[in-house]
Structure 1
Amino acid sequence: MEIERIIEANQVVSNILRDCPYEILKKWEVKKFDRGQIVCRQDEYHDYFYIITQGIANIYRAAESGKKYSQSVYKTGDYFGELEIFDKKPYICTVEALTDLKVLRIHRDVFLQWIDKDRNFLLYITRTLCDSFYKLSKKAGEDTLYPLKYKVCNYMRYCLKNGVRRENGVEIQLQKEQLSEQFVVTQRSINRILKLLKEADIIEVTQGTIIVKDEERLRDVEQESMNE
């Protein structure tokens, strides 16, 4: 059973599904998406709850003009679909695979049964939803109050915890276009900040990734730019 192999290989997913009843556990589906593929689209209805088991996804809101606002980047163990599933509402955001993506999904009817039977999961989803709302509120304040240089440095430092350590620094899966969407600014504005950091030998920009060469100096620039 593939879901059992996924649970054994992933501690975060294992914690979420720890007390999931077997009759519900066997109804999970495994789905795979290629990089760039849309998992769920804004303003459309989707009757599933999803847990990411491998890869990274961009959660963004798009305007009619096509401009995107990235609300968050989700990784292994993060879930989506919980906001819309109770009252069958259309998705508030689009979910796009930033890398090849593997997810577990369960139909709405089974999800509601799970909530009713599994107190561990009910507590988990309540706690993590509160944490998500806390981070979104903090982000909304920072987007309004702080300059772009601070926000870019702050976001890079946030991404470091999921980065891969290389000989020349920590590689993070972050594209310039993604930063532009994250802060709803032009690509030119992002390029200007990245150029400053690159000239200071703090980062190196490669195809599809950014390598943070000096974490301490990145933190210093973040703090110095807070009041610019």
Structure 2
Amino acid sequence: MMNDLAALVAQEPVLQQLLRTCPLHIINAFQIEHYAVDEFQFDQGAQYDNTYILAAGKVKIYLMSAGGKAVALDIYEKGAFIGEQEALLDKPYSASVVNLTPVTVLRIPNDLFKTWLKEDQHFSQELIVNLSAQIYTLTNRTERYSLHSALDQAISYLIWATRRNQVVTRTNLLNEVDTSSRNLNRIIKQLRDLDVITVDKSQISVTNLPQLITILRNEG
């Protein structure tokens, strides 16, 4: 197991940064686990005994809306922690978790995770940065979900993704918007009729970013 962990960490600079001063007895406690899509799941309101570091793949953190829609709070990638807040507070999960792709994770019992935090000053600083980034992202998303319509949310995400040259599909747009699949299709049709987006199979491309920004301002 130690050789497997060393090989995995050697391939991932983000893991090297997290574990570079980790005490040996903590290193020895890590277990490497692999999960197929949808097999790595945790339920909001349930309590779990382990903390995880995402070593490969993508995980969705989400809440269920009053209408039964899964509203994504964030998409975690390698280097992210899962369950660390709940481990520190000894509380049930505040949101649900599911993996969107096959994932590799490092699992450690909650009590040893807290011991690691006490014994490793470097790791303590890394965790503070990680938690601060989560709070920042969540604040921005909460404002979008609570104050804006589904159309506003969809346009905001399209603008955000376009500025970062990220590919947008119907699936990840639905993950970002608190609405039904049927209503999202209406929004996509509306924006396509306004000639601000094109749709090629499942991929959505913004063709007129300035006009899309104007539509968002007028909606607000």
The TM-score normalised by the length of structure 1 is: 0.80
Between the two proteins, the alignment pairs up a number of residues equal to 216
Percent identity, please.
Answer: 24
Q: Report the Cα distance in structure 2 between the residues aligned to 1:183 and 1:211, rounded to whole angstroms.
A: 15
Distance 1:117 1:151, change over 3 A: same
Given the alignment of the two structures, is residue 41 of structure 1 paired with residue 46 of structure 2, yes or no?
no
* Deviation string, structure 1 residues 138-185 (Cα, Å, up to 9, x no partner): 22112233343342233245556997xxxxxx545x543x54454321
Confirm or deny: 8 A CA contact 2:69 2:179 kept in the other structure: no
CA RMSD of aligned residues (A): 2.8
Q: SS in structure 2 opposite 1:50?
A: strand
Task: Note the residue ranges of structure 2 that are not aligned, 5 or more in a row.
Answer: none
Confirm or deny: 8 A CA contact 1:33 1:100 kept in the other structure: yes
Partner of 1:204: 199
Confirm or deny: 8 A CA contact 1:59 1:96 kept in the other structure: yes
Confirm or deny: 8 A CA contact 1:146 1:227 kept in the other structure: no
Moved over 6 A (4+): 160-163
Partner of 1:141: 143
Distance 1:91 1:205, change over 3 A: farther
Match of 1:194 among 173, 188, 193: 188
> Cα distance, 1:31 vs. partner?
1.2
Q: Report the Cα distance in structure 1 between the residues aligned to 2:175 and 2:23, rounded to whole angstroms.
A: 40
Match of 2:126 among 110, 124, 129: 124
Q: SS in structure 2 opposite 1:35?
A: coil
* Deviation string, structure 1 residues 96-119 (Cα, Å, up to 9, x no partner): 111111111111121111101111
Partner of 2:58: 56
Distance 1:65 1:212, change over 3 A: closer
How do 1:1-228 and structure 2 match up within 5 A? 1-62=3-64, 66-156=68-158, 158=160, 171-172=167-168, 174-176=169-171, 179-198=173-192, 200=195, 202-204=197-199, 206=201, 210=203, 212=205, 214=207, 217-218=208-209, 220-222=211-213, 224-228=215-219
> Cα distance, 1:133 vs. partner?
1.1
Distance 1:110 1:61, change over 3 A: same
Distance 1:60 1:85, change over 3 A: same
Q: Report the Cα distance in structure 2 between the residues aligned to 1:3 and 1:220, rounded to whole angstroms.
A: 50
Distance 1:63 1:212, change over 3 A: closer
> Cα distance, 1:49 vs. partner?
1.2
